[in-house]
A and B are shown apart, each in its own frame.
Chain A
Amino acid sequence: MSEDTPIAVTGLNHWFGTGEARKQAIFDVNLQVKRGSLTILMGPSGSGKTTVLTLMGCLRDVQDGSVNLMGHELNGADRAQNEALRRRLGFIFQAHNLHGSLTALQNVLMGVQVHGLPDRQTQHDAARHALSLVGLADRMGYLPANLSGGQKQRVAVARALVGNPDVIFADEPTAALDSESGMTVVKMLKKLGQMRGTTTVMVTHDDRILELADRIVTLEDGRIVRDTAPYHE
């Protein structure tokens, strides 16, 4: 299952809060994501798409149901197992979350060093290459404060890609980008899927990029209400 289906979600339920304030946010979600595909999660605010993303990305503990990520069951996984799995993932956040004290190159290096690559030169070469891929070869020494919103997001993309992740989880990665940059980023993710088999799951409201999706999953009130592959049918 894990070879062709790196993500398999079965009967997933999730609650927030405790006691009387406890409220169910996800209801019996079932989802299987194919290797190398670009899957977009859509839905209105509060529909549960980000919760599903964080559960699949082992950023939250699975309370009920099953999430199988690259052959590993996340329900009941301990912290060390989650940490080890996360090193095989790439995350792109809406707010980019670059470290303000580190240059663009150093931020991307953080994505390499977590894998413990053999030597400093190899790490730097990988980071430089990733920054070149996102068109920031001339901004490597810049601190995030000196980069535009789009440039920061591209650094965040380079940081997510530099470790050659098996799966990329992205939350509104194009929100801070202009139309052209947004398309460039998503095309890059799509190309990675085709070339390396990297699987991407993305939460977005951006209609401009829907045509690149292999699959569009729509959630409402914590349930999957639509699951289509409109541009591939």
Chain B
Amino acid sequence: MSRLLQWLFGRLPIGWLQLTHSRPRFAAALAGVAFANVLVFVQLGIMNSMATATLKPYEFFQPDIMISASDANSMSEGGNVARQWLFQALADPDVTGGTGLFIATVDWARETDNLALTTYGIDPTLPQFLSPAMARKISSLQLQNAGILDMFSRGLPREEAAAIRPQTPASFEVSGTTLTLYDTFQGGGGFGVDGYMMVSDQTFLTLFPKRSSAAPDHIFLQIARGADPDVVAARLRGAISDKTLRIRSFAQAAAEDQSYQQTERPTGIIFGFGVIIGILVGIVIVYQVLSTDVADHLSEYATFKAMGYPQQFFLGIVFEEALILAILGFVPGFFVASGLLVGMKAATGLPLAMTTTMAVMVFIGTLVACSVSGAIATRRLATADPADLF
């Protein structure tokens, strides 16, 4: 390592030699940086999983435009939308089709626990509004009181989920109605629900008799090939009488939902603060290490000043130390955080994972944070006065 650094810097790697001179202190410094990394990684992991969980339901569908109520900040929030707006939208020459989407939560009371399933009521004769993977699964939904279930639902044993096939369906009671599950699809638990379920709109209305077919939660629209969803959505906003409706491209709705979850919901804000606190902890730890190191070596630095070494040389040493701490502290932080995320995923069923983007982002952030700490620590160099050596 020493030789590599000497080759890189073209001088003795004094920063490295200083840091490694006391192994226990060096290990403690690296542990501090790693700890800050773990903090940031875990918070980012949770934020990421929130984003993944938020966007998961959007993966089940593929309309071009979604019409929602004014208070629908996310797919599962907000009031209903009158079906009459679907017909008004169909008057637009670029709108080729539409359907309503019903959403509610079904509780599956099981022997040991209770599964909260976000349930979507769709028209099974219109698979073009579903993702190809989902579209292949919905033929059974044309049967009354039939459903297909999220195989990754939290609390649902994998073997039990795997056993749900058209030939071996599973049934459970919902508000006095027996619902039969014929198949499964890939979903995953989120922060608010344990999993997802798909039923036909007719079955949905049976399960929720107070809901009306004239008032779905959202309206999905499909537009002509080549038409721009944003342009059509803008046109529809002008054409549809109810100006309070949110008429957006499906992609925009997903992006706004994610932004809402991360910046306006308390959970998103808390985890965002967690990231900031992790960064601050890292900066403080590295500053403490570097400023102590500078203070410990003031007489040596003063000696080098007397010998004619310029100020840049000393800045170089401090930044060399900052980079070493950043790089070597990142490695254990990365592995510990990866392990923690795997463990948390197993324990919660949330889509927690270490991603390349996260790793690159945190690595760059660590380099920047350590450099900032180093820049602050260099102020102490000014107190190294060679005249004091005599």
Contacts and interface: CB of A to CB of B under 8 A. Distances in A.
Given A86-B308, A114-B309, A101 B389 contact: no
Given A54-B390, A95-B389, A100 B308 contact: no
Contacts of B209: none
Interface in B373-390: 386-387, 389-390
A142 to B, nearest CB: 14
B308 A97 contact: no
B390 A97 contact: no
A53 B21 contact: no
B290 to A, nearest CB: 15
Interface stretch (B299-307, B329-337, B354-362): B299-307
A161 to B, nearest CB: 12
Contacts of B297: 99
Given A59-B386, A95-B389, A171-B390, A106 B12 contact: yes
Contacts of B310: 80, 83
Contact of B390 (A86, A93, A98, A114): A93
Given A86-B308, A93-B303, A101-B21, 6 more contacts: A54-B387, A59-B386, A83-B309, A91-B303, A91-B307, A95-B389
A205 to B, nearest CB: 14
A110 B12 contact: yes
B11 interface: yes
A84 interface: yes
A164 interface: no
B13 to A, nearest CB: 10
A89 B386 CA distance: 13
Contacts of B20: 101
A109 interface: yes
B74 interface: no
B307 A100 contact: no
Interface string B30-50: 000000000000000000000
Nearest to A159: B307
A54 to B, nearest CB: 5
25 contacts: A50-B390, A54-B387, A54-B390, A57-B306, A80-B310, A83-B310, A86-B307, A87-B307, A91-B306, A91-B307, A94-B390, A97-B300, A98-B300, A99-B14, A99-B300, A100-B300, A101-B18, A102-B12, A102-B14, A110-B304, A113-B11, A114-B309, A120-B6, A171-B390, A203-B390
Interface in B284-329: 297, 299-300, 302-304, 306-311
A174 to B, nearest CB: 15
Contacts of A102: 12, 14, 17
A13 to B, nearest CB: 17
Contacts of A53: 390
A83 B21 contact: no
A101 B390 contact: no
Given A97-B299, A99-B300, A59 B14 contact: no
A54 B306 CA distance: 10
Interface in B1-22: 6, 11-12, 14, 17-18, 20-21
Interface centre among A50, A97, A98, A102, by most chain B C-beta atoms within 10 angstroms, is A97
Interface in A71-100: 79-80, 83-89, 91, 93-95, 97-100
B6 to A, nearest CB: 8
Interface of B: 6, 11-12, 14, 17-18, 20-21, 297, 299-300, 302-304, 306-311, 386-387, 389-390
Determine the main DSSP class of A at the interface with B.
mixed
B308 A101 contact: no
A109 B302 CA distance: 17
Interface of A: 50, 53-54, 57, 59-60, 79-80, 83-89, 91, 93-95, 97-102, 106, 109-111, 113-114, 120, 171, 203
A109 B17 CA distance: 14
A94 B299 CA distance: 13
Contacts of A109: 12
Contact of A59 (B6, B304, B306, B309): B306
A101 B14 contact: yes
B11 to A, nearest CB: 5
A86 B386 CA distance: 11
Contacts of B303: 91, 93, 97, 99
Interface centre among B20, B307, B387, by most chain A C-beta atoms within 10 angstroms, is B307
Contacts of A89: 308
Contacts of A60: 387
10 closest Cβ pairs, A-B complex: A87-B308, A86-B308, A101-B21, A97-B303, A101-B17, A59-B387, A99-B300, A101-B18, A50-B390, A59-B386
Nearest to A100: B21
A57 to B, nearest CB: 7
A120 B12 CA distance: 10
Contact of B307 (A94, A110, A120, A203): A110
B12 A111 contact: no
Nearest to B309: A114
A98 B301 CA distance: 10
A94 B388 CA distance: 12
